[in-house]
Structure 1
Amino acid sequence: MSALNHTSVIFDLDGTLVDSEPNYFEAGRQLLAEHGITDFTWEDHETYVGISTQETLALWKERYGLTAPLPDLLAEKNRRYLDLARTSTRVFPEMRKFVERLYDAGVPMAVASGSSRPAIEAILAGTGLDTHLTTLVSADEVAHGKPAPDVFLAAAALLGAAPADCVVLEDAAPGALAARAAGMRCVAIPYVAAQADDPAFASAELLLRGGQEEFTAQAALDWLTG
């Protein structure tokens, strides 16, 4: 794979590498129910896919009138999520193959996620992806979350890579916008099928409208080397 000699790959985590959204939904549903909001649905959750946990909770405080301090809500949701994530997070099979193929080829890789660092580390350790993915950036560690480019630029800096040499894999519109703002190429794999026509995805160099059902490790490698 000599064509990949100058390429670094940056992965979003939730909805891209792993199917963690059901865990985020359940953690959020439990949290809201404890505060008297009992009608939170999966469809409600889908509107927050791609937004950091902290930003989601800030929106919930406004939408649902939550009175608890944001740091308390964040700690509670993270605790609930981590309990679920450690035992029930599924890696998308073709994504695992893709990571392994890139690793074997010596391609620098990083994870840049809106999740907290403890959540990222718990998922990577629980799924075994930490064997191949050791460079991590959480949105909590930069000034602005997606759609700002901060997490991707920070990941590139850690890899010692120029943004123009980086390819981002993303499942959500804010992440696609962040990749564009960072000056990076983007492979968009929409987690929510109904969002495939979001204008944000139009900026992606490769858009797989069928999401993970369409993604294959070999096709992604062929695109990278093509």
Structure 2
Amino acid sequence: MFQAAIFDMDGLLIDSEPFWRTAEKEVFGSLGIEVTEELSIKTSRMTTREVTAHWFSHKPWAQKSLEDVEQTVIQKVGELIGNNGVMMPGSIALLHYFKQSGYKIGLATNSPQCLIPIVLRKLQIEHCFDITVSSDFVDKGKPSPDIYIKAASELSTPPSRCIVFEDSARGIQAALAAGMSVVAVPEKGNFHDSRFNIADIKIRQLSDFCDQHIALLIKKQNNLVKL
């Protein structure tokens, strides 16, 4: 029944969330903005453009354009990923599982397009993906469904035949709104957060996913069980 698997990137395939926090603290801090850990977490699932606009509205600066600041953050994150990026547990095994099972594989991320090849090269998983989609090429990033609708289109696969893996509540909302089945993989401290209960299935890490989960998703689609 399912024909494609689509993966989020940051926090799901690569442990990059700390890099974004570091880059934002450094770049926005140079503009006189104190980015606390708490505030950084609140903006962590926004696109880079949204984050830049958020901080500008919080405390406008005159030294640089919003675009220049955004690009400085992205460049810093790219450097950190290239030097220190680490794959999340189970990523490569699950990608190979779907590849060997004949699935099309896509990546859909709120991150800028320029960071995708940096991540895939660092993790040595470029060969695993049939398509990659960035929020750079849709009107709205997650939680809008735009990015997942575009990914399904590029995979030539109906949304109902796609399984999405997400570690954020915004991403889960986006995939569900696109009409896809969703597997939530919350970061360790958020596993029991009720925001993730809207997903079809919730697992602790990618390596936990198996044939039984696919069977459960199929049953749910057929309205035979309620997960």
Same fold (TM over 0.5): yes
Structure 2: runs of 5 or more not aligned: 217-227
> Which of residues 7, 10, 23 in structure 1 aligns to 2:3?
7
> Which of residues 209, 212, 217 in structure 2 aligns to 1:222?
212
Q: Deviation of residue 207 (structure 1)? A: 2.0
Distance of 1:135 and 1:69 partners within structure 2? 32
**Maintained 8 Å contact 1:49/1:172:** no
Distance of 1:222 and 1:174 partners within structure 2? 26
Residues 88-139 of structure 1, C-alpha deviation per residue, up to 9 Å, x if partnerless? 1111121221111111222111000011111011101111011212410000
> Which of residues 198, 201, 207 in structure 2 aligns to 1:206?
201
1:167 match: secondary structure: strand
Change (3 A) 1:180 1:35: same
> Which of residues 121, 124, 130 in structure 1 aligns to 2:126?
130
Aligned match of 1:62 = 57
* Counterpart mapping for 1:36-115 below 5 A: 36-37=32-33, 39-67=34-62, 68-115=64-111
Q: Residue 26 of structure 2 aligns to which amino acid in structure 1?
A: Q
Q: Deviation of residue 196 (structure 1)? A: 4.3
Q: Deviation of residue 148 (structure 1)? A: 0.3
Distance of 1:118 and 1:218 partners within structure 2? 30
> Which of residues 21, 28, 47 in structure 2 aligns to 1:32?
28
Percent of pairs with identical residues = 27
Structure 1: runs of 5 or more not aligned: 209-213
Distance of 2:45 and 2:107 partners within structure 1? 14
Q: TM-score, normalised by structure 2?
A: 0.87
Residues 145-168 of structure 1, C-alpha deviation per residue, up to 9 Å, x if partnerless? 010001111111111100111111
The aligned length equals: 215
Aligned match of 2:165 = 169
Distance of 1:96 and 1:41 partners within structure 2? 33
Residues 141-195 of structure 1, C-alpha deviation per residue, up to 9 Å, x if partnerless? 1011010001111111111100111111111111011011101111111237247
Aligned match of 1:211 = none
2:55 match: secondary structure: helix
Q: Deviation of residue 225 (structure 1)? A: 3.6
Q: Pairwise CA RMSD of aligned residues?
A: 1.8
Distance of 2:101 and 2:197 partners within structure 1? 30
Change (3 A) 1:188 1:6: closer
Most deviating of 130-139 and 48-57: 48-57
Distance of 1:61 and 1:196 partners within structure 2? 33
> Which of residues 179, 183, 186 in structure 2 aligns to 1:187?
183
* Counterpart mapping for 1:131-170 below 5 A: 131-170=127-166
Q: Residue 168 of structure 2 aligns to which amino acid in structure 1?
A: A
Q: Deviation of residue 202 (structure 1)? A: 2.7
